[in-house]
Amino acid sequence: MPLYHSSASCIGVGSVIFTGAAAAIGRRFSTTSFWKEIRETGATIFMYVGETCRYLTAAPPELDPVTGENLDKKHKVRVALGNGLRPDVWDKFKSRFGIEVCAPPRGLAQKGPLRHRHVPLAYTDGTLTDHL
């Protein structure tokens, strides 16, 4: 998500600074390099704009060039946070990439870092607190 977007700057980077966690910020979004960068950084949470997930779901599976193994679920991501993920993409995205929680944190830019920890999640059980 671009840093000029309030979710990325306030919630993403703000929460990282507030908690002392680490952030990996890519130069630009690309469906062909996204999961490689996720694996290289060991990311466990990422932020999205809804169309990002649609683009990733529509992209062909990434295969290991040596073994031919499908790499779609070869990552450490547990939670994807963002806005605008269409319901018709939601389950396909979660299933294909094996992500436990995709959360649309509504109104978070106005609430500040870490307020999202107790936001009830649509399309899943519990709150983010249960998954962090």
Higher pLDDT, 43 or 131: 43
Domains observed in the chain? 6-131 (3.40.50.980)
User: How far apart are alpha carbons 25 and 78 in whole angstroms?
Assistant: 18
Task: Determine the pLDDT at residue 4.
Answer: 77
**Residue 6 CB coordination number (10 Å):** 14
The pLDDT tens digits of the residues spanning 78-110 come to 988 888 888 888 889 999 999 988 876 655 444
Residue 53 confidence (pLDDT): 92
Record the pTM: 0.75
Asked if the model's pLDDT at residue 126 lies above 50, the reply is: no
Write the pLDDT tens digit of every residue in 62-79.
999 999 999 999 999 998
Chain-wide mean pLDDT for the chain? 79
pLDDT of residue 120: 43
